[in-house]
Each structure stands twice: as C-alpha cells, then as structure tokens.
Structure 1
Amino acid sequence: MTSPRVLLLPGWQNSGPGHWQTLWETHFGDLRVEQHDWMQPLRGDWITRLEEVVQQQDSPVLLAAHSLGCHLVAAWAAVSGSLGKVQGALLVAPPDVAQPDFPPQLHRWAQPVLSALPFPAALVASTDDPYCSFEAAAGFAGHWGAALHNIGARGHINAESGLGDWPQGRALVLNQK
C-alpha cells in the first residue's frame, strides 16, 4: 500500500521560516498547498485550490492544517468530491472566526462550517491562543468530530511557540490513518 502524502494547509499569511509546517516541508518533503492569495483569503478560491491539489495526488493524503487552514478543511470537506483520498487530518489552532475583532480581510470566513468531518481528525489547541479560547476550540473539535488535544500554554502553536519541528504533532498526523 502507498504511504499517504502529507498536505500542509497554512492559515492566513502563510507559515514562515520557523513554523513547524515549514520545517515539515523541509525535513519530510511534505507538500504545502500554495494559495493564490495569502493576504486576502477567499474561501471559494482556497477550497478550489485544495481540491485541485488533492485530485493531483496519486496516493492517499493526510491533511496538516494550521489556523485558518483548519476552517479550510471543514469548508472543503463539506463540498469535495475527493474525500475518499483523505485518511485523516491534524487541525492545529483554529481561530475563532466569529470574534467581533476578527481581521476584516477574513470576513468571508466569519460563518464557519460546523459539520462533522468524514475522516479521522485530531484538533490541537492551546490554553492561551490569542485568536481562540480553549473553550471555542473544544467546540470546533466537537462539531468536527475531532479528538481534542490540549497542548497547554503555547500561544497560536506557530513559530513563536518554540516547538521546532514538533515531533508530537508529526506523530499525531501520521496516526490519523
């Protein structure tokens, strides 16, 4: 059986040099799904791009999403014809897109898709994420049918969180199959 390909789904503004997604891309050869516009993310465009990339894969895929990428997974799963290729998903630090002070560039994401995902998923949340309370993250996990993992006080679980290439996250994504 073919090993699954890990697709990296960064959030708004992409993932920078020290981010665990970038390190996974460098160290493990994972494929970053490049969006056409990282600064003005249009939900329909992002969904279309993810669908294109999933369809291009000759092997099953695992999705490793960060921040707005988590909402991309939920929105894409609600409309995709390629769900059979997905073995599982790692959803890390989903933002609370319904917050009143959410950036205006992201207004098209303000109504999150809250349907259960049709594949196994793990959601990792921090107790001090500035973009989402732990309670809101637990709510997303419940709606999406994802196993909730509390990583403690690690902020937005990005480069500033000091995780390096984050072996615990890597183990979580690989165990979703």
Structure 2
Amino acid sequence: MIVVPGIGGSGSDHWQSLWLRDQPDAVRVEQRDWERPDRDEWIAALQDTVQRATGPVVLVAHSLGCHTVAHWAHQHQAEVRAALLVAPPDIDHSAAQGAPIAGFGPPAANPLPFPAVLAASSTDRWADLDWSRLIAKQWGARFVDLGDAGHVNPDAGFGPWPQGEELLRDLLAEY
C-alpha cells in the first residue's frame, strides 16, 4: 500500500498514519514541502515511490493526494491494483478559501486506468457533494457518500477509520 497524503502530510493522529503503523509493508509518499504543494514535485515523488514498490500497488490518497494520483495516472504507466481516494478538494473552491492549491488545477478529467473508489462527505468544507460525484464520474471511480464526515481527518473526528478500512478491503476483494 502506498499512502498519498494531502497538505500537511497526514500527521501522526490521521487515519492514514495509523494505517501505516498497522501495515508493515505500507509506505508514505514523502514531499519536500507539505504546506506549499507543487503539482510537478508531488507527482514526481509519487512516481519515485511507485517505482520502488516491490509488490502490487494499492494507492490510498487523501485530499490533495487524490489529485496527485489522478494527475500522476495520466502521465505515467504502472500496474496499479486499485486506489481509494478520500475527500478530494474542489481545486477552484478551495483556492478561493485560501488553500494553497491553485497550481493543481484544473483537475484531471480522464478516467483512471485502474479501479478506484472515491469517498466524500456531505459536510466537507473543501468540496460539495455534487462536485465530488462529478469528479468521481470523470475519474471512473465508484462513488461513496460518507454523510456528515467533514474532511475525513482528525479535525472531523477521524483517527482510526474502520469504515475506510472496510472500503479498501471491499475494493481489493473486487480486483
């Protein structure tokens, strides 16, 4: 499993970090600057991590990490078993709210070349549910409505996230 965090790098109490602790073979994509994302750098870091993978690649992305995965998938070829994409932000909406992500736009609009599930919340301040459904459709991902889950991060009450683990298990059981 390759964990692809968003801005801030998913701190120690984030569900992605907790999953890394529980999965000895899992790795995190590391970025030079977690606070001022550069799309090309973030894509290159993901590519480096994928190239070092020794087994089937399973991507688990959160927030801006979802866009990193989508842009990467359209620039590079690799055998990816599946991807779980959680709470991707609406680039234009988030940039207007002050998030430093304008350089990631526009979002990749082509279907991903591997199976994916996109899980989003009806109360995410960075993207509304209609936008999330649209981007899931564009990426060819199965959409899951998480309901009132904020940005699916520690601020929204998510440390351990059993529902996410179940989504990933179900996705991998399908492919």
TM-score, normalization by structure 2: 0.92
**Is the Cα contact below 8 Å between 2:153 and 2:159 reproduced in 1?**
no
- 2:7 is matched with which residue? 12
Three-state SS of the structure 1 residue aligned to 2:96 is: coil
Give a deviation string over 1:11-58, Cα, whole Å, max 9, x none.
012111221001101122321111111111111111111111101111
Quote the offset at 1:160 in angstroms: 2.2
Matches within 5 A, 1:35-114: 35-82=31-78, 84=79, 86-99=80-93, 101-103=96-98, 105-114=100-109
What letter corresponds to residue 31 of structure 2 in structure 1? Q
Shift, 1:98, TM fit: 1.5
**Quick one: percent identity of the two aligned structures?**
41
Q: What is the distance in 2 between the residues matched to 1:17 and 1:167?
A: 17
CA, structure 1 residues 73+91, in 2 after alignment: closer, same or farther (shift >3 Å)? same
> For residues 45-75 of structure 1, what are the alpha-carbon distances to aligned partners after superposition, in whole Å with 9 as ceiling and x for unaligned?
1111111110111111110000000101110
SS at match of 2:20: helix
Partner of 2:160: 165
Letter in 1 for 2:69: V
Q: How does 1:82-161 map to 2 (within 5 A)?
A: 82=78, 84=79, 86-99=80-93, 101-103=96-98, 105-161=100-156
CA distance in 1, matches of 2:53, 2:99: 34
Shift of 1:102: 4.2
User: Structure 1 residues 40 and 163, CA, compared in 2 at 3 Å: closer, same or farther?
Assistant: closer
The total of aligned residue pairs comes to 170
- Secondary structure class of the residue paired with 1:98: helix
- On the 8 A contact 1:62/1:174 being kept in 2, the answer is no
Secondary structure at the residue paired with 1:47?
helix
What stretches of structure 2 of length at least 5 have no aligned partner?
Answer: none
Deviates more, 1:105-114 or 1:49-58: 105-114
Task: Find the residue that maps to 1:46 and give its secondary structure.
Answer: helix
CA distance in 2, matches of 1:139, 1:150: 12
